[in-house]
Each structure stands twice: as structure tokens, then as C-alpha cells.
Amino acid sequence: MISKINSYCPMISFGQHIDVNSISSNENYSDKVDIYTNNRESNLRDKPSFMNVIANKAMNLVDSSFKSLDNVLDLSKSTSNKTLLDPYDSPSALPEQSTQKEPGKIKYIVKGGLNELGNIALKIVFKQAEKQNSEFINEEYNDLQKTDKDSPEYIDHIIKIGKKLAQGMKVDSAEVNIEDGALSDIANSDESCIFIMNHDSPIQDAAALGIFNSLLYNEYNKENKSKDCPRPSIIVSNNVLDSQTPKIKAISEKIGCVGVDANIYHSKEGRNLNSKQLEPVIKDFCADKKHLFIFPEGQMNCFKNSSFKERFQAEVGSMVKIASLKKDRVKVVPVGFGYDKNDSGKTAVKIQIGEPVYFIKDGKKILANAGNIRLDNASENYKKFFYDDGDNQVQVKDQKDKYKDITNGRENLSSKEQAQYIAGALAENLNIIRDEAIK
């Protein structure tokens, strides 16, 4: 769990408060400093310009419009992602084709209009961000053009930009469960990870990711591994990159942002683009040269009436399946982002780093460990699958080194079907960590 900040009762095992400004290779994080971020206007100055106000109102309009139209036009029903499988599901219960069908003409026009409004708002925000931070952006743009990605200086830029992103959104510190040792374990290993994160608030999630990356790569600095540690590959929507100013886009791509077609209704061209973009990323991941950072909900995050499992897109399962063919094991770390307002009206940022979920190819089987699945926060099927001894008594066990066939012994499955079981397990784990972060 995440402890409440200030007037709330602290937890013993969680919730160390990190001062973002103090992140450096010599910092031991012994001081506890609260962390806050403003809501929609978190990327603006204390006195936002007229254009910033318009941009934020447009973002709020997009959010509220999606929620309203979700009820009126059944947008979420036409895009519901019912392709994830748990160990007790049969592939035969799924429709032959994905239920992510093309919507009717009215729904398509409405959604397209809302997306365009969101893109316009993003362009305004990025333009104002460059105007307000021109000195920093010009300096980073020029320095990064001369910085080798394999150099320790590149990692310093990752940390610096992550801190700046958080500060630009009025973030000073974060509540993170670093005392659990997750970050140090990652930094002490040479193994690449896929980090999957919930996507409840796109604007605030960017700040939270900046904080997380700064903390992660600072750990590599402390271990003197900044030269050889895996570099970041952050999977983002092309809409976001295309909304950025040329200099901000160049910085984003230099620090690892990879643009993909995140449209809910994939075209053939979009699928081909994604294959082209992700092939070298997965190759570097398999060689332990890259960490992958993914928001598996993507644009499905706007459909709040759908369950988390329905918003979670199965493509990340395919990435794990492909990587399992070349790696001894695939390590996936769920990271939950949560936000909670305090008495002053600001939003406290909370980051919960989960236990790793490992996937191992064993002949035609895909084995997985329980990860974060425990009795008090998992669905019944997954609790039964990992903990039931067969006598109808569910008991807690140490599952860290125990693996089970995630398809529950099913044979003759296609790669796509195996990926759906993998994605189901990942959605379960991330949902658990998300719940911990938002408590």
C-alpha cells in the first residue's frame, strides 16, 4: 500500500518520500520530502497564459466528452478488448475475430473529432512549454546532439530531463516504495526489463514516468553501471510525438521515445508501421541493451466504463512471446501510478513498483511465476491457479521460484493464443499494483 501524505497515517513498509531535486548519484534518500503536482494546469506557470487556459479546457472537454459519449453512443462497447485469457479460459470461448470492430460512421466521426481536438490542445501545450522553458530545451537539444547514447553522460541527461519534466508539472517529490529494493535489484542486474504502467491520467502519468526514470537511472549511477546499463525505449503514440515542437520531438526521440500507431482501430498501414518500429526495439531488448516502457491501455484508457482487463491491449503479450524465443526469461515489472489530492488541493504522486513477473519458454509451453498475485488482491481464478493444492484449500506459498504453465496445460495453441494468456497474466498483475498505488 501507499501511505497517505502529511496528515494521513504513514505505513511502515511503504511510502518513502523522495525529493526530486535531490536525485544524484550520492543521494541516499534519507530525507523525507512530500511530493505534489497540480492537476490539469500542472504544466503551466502559476499564472497561465490565455492559450494555456484554452488548451487545458480543451483537454478537459475531451475527457468529459469521452465519458459522456461512452454512455450515449456505446463507444467502449464497440472497442471492448475481450481477447485476454486467464488460465481457466478456453480460446474457443473467444470470437474468431477481435471484438475491436470498426464503429459506426457517427461514432467514428465523433471519436475522430475528439482526437483532433486533443491533438490541437497538445500542440498548444508543447508550444507553450518550449516558450516557457526555452533555455533548458535549447541547452538539452544542443547537448544531446553531441552525446553518445553509450556514454555515462547520456544517463545524466535522462535523469536531468526526468527531473525537469516533473518540475515543469509542479512536482517536487514523490512517494515511492524504494525501500522494497526493487530499483536496486534491477540496477544490480544486467537483465533488461519491460515496464508496464497504468494510464489513468495521461498528463500526470508523464510526470510520474519522469520521476520513475530519474530514480531508476540514478540507481545505475550509484552502482557505477551508467555506461553499460540498458537504455530506455518508451513506447508512445505518434499523435504525441507529432504534436511536439521540432526541438522537443528531437529530445524525446533521443531519450528513447518510439512512436507507434496507437489508434484503437488499427489499419493495415498502422500495423506495418508498428512492426517496423518495434522490431529493432525488441531485438535490443533481447540483447539486454534496452528497457521497454509501455502503457498497455494506450488510447483505450479513455473508456472508463470498461474494466481494466478490457482496456489492457494484448499486443504486449505478443512482445513477451516473441522475446521469449530469444531470451532465457523475459522480465516484466508492473509499475502503478496513483494520485491523491491533499488539503491544499494539490495532487500527491504515488508510485508502486511491483514484483517482477517472469516468463520462460519451456518447449511449447510458456511458464510464468505468480509475481504480485496474492490472496488479498487477486482474482479468484489466478489465486486458484497459483495457490490451490488440489484439496480446495487455497494456501499462500513462496512463488518467487515456482513457475506454472500459464496456459494451464493446453496444447496446440497458436502464438496469438499464447500471447493472450500472457497478456491476461500481465493485466492481472498490473491491476493489482495499480490498486495498491491508488489506495
Higher pLDDT among residues 392 and 383, named by residue: 383
Q: State how many domains the chain has.
A: 1
Looking at beta carbons, which pairs linking 298-302 to residues 24 or more positions away fall under 8 Å? 298/199, 298/237, 298/262, 298/264, 299/237, 299/262, 299/263, 299/264, 300/79, 300/81, 300/264, 301/199, 301/200, 301/202, 302/63, 302/66
Calpha distance 395→425 (Å, rounded): 20
pLDDT at 389 exceeding the cut of 70: no
CA distances from 164 to 18, 27, 208, 295, 391 (A): 15, 18, 12, 21, 55
Q: Which residue has the higher pLDDT, 117 or 157?
A: 157
Output the pLDDT for position 207: 85
**What's 394's DSSP letter?**
B
The tally of CA atoms less than 13 A away on the side-chain side of residue 272 is 3
Question: From residue 215, how far is each of 138, 166, 205 by CA, in Å?
Answer: 24, 12, 15
**pLDDT category of residue 51 using cuts at 50, 70 and 90:** very low
- Would you say residue 27 lies in a domain? yes
Longest C-alpha distance within the chain, in Å?
A: 66
* Predicted confidence (pLDDT) per residue in 152-179, tens digit: 999 999 999 988 877 666 555 678 898 8
Q: Is residue 287 part of a domain?
A: yes
Query: Residue 328: what pLDDT?
Result: 94
Task: Identify which has the larger pLDDT, 144 or 174.
Answer: 144
Which band of pLDDT confidence, cut at 50, 70 and 90, is reported for residue 53? very low
Nearest by Cα to 408 from 434, 426, 381: 381
Name the amino acid, one letter, at 383: K
Q: Provide the grid cell at 382.
A: 489466478
One-letter amino acid for residue 331 of the chain: K
Summarize pLDDT for 14-49 with one digit per residue, the tens: 345 555 555 554 443 333 323 333 332 333 233 444
Report the length, in residues, of the chain.
439
> Which residue did the predictor score with more confidence, 225 or 375?
225
Q: How many angstroms separate the CA atoms of 377 and 308, rounded? A: 14
CA distances from 330 to 245, 366, 368, 419, 425 (A): 36, 11, 10, 13, 13
Residue ranges making up the domain that contains 123? 16-438
- Single out the residue of 212, 193, 248, 192 nearest to residue 349, CA to CA: 212
* Domain assignment of residue 227, yes or no: yes
Higher pLDDT, 85 or 340: 85
Average pLDDT, the chain: 76
pLDDT higher for 280 or 42?
Answer: 280
Strand partners, 233: 292
> Rounded to 10 degrees, what is the CA torsion of 423, 429, 434, 439?
150
pLDDT above 90: percentage of residues in the chain: 42
The alpha carbon of 439 is separated from its chain's Cα centroid by a whole number of angstroms, namely 18
43 located within any domain: yes
Tell me if 237 is assigned to some domain. Answer: yes
Q: Which pLDDT does position 101 carry in this prediction?
A: 47
Query: What is residue 130's three-state secondary structure?
Result: helix
Residue carrying C-alpha cell 545505475? 220
Tell whether 7 is covered by a domain.
no
Tell me, rounded to whole angstroms, the distance of Cα 254 from its chain centroid. 19
User: What is the CA angle 193-194-196, rounded to 5?
Assistant: 135
Residue 3 domain-assigned (yes or no): no
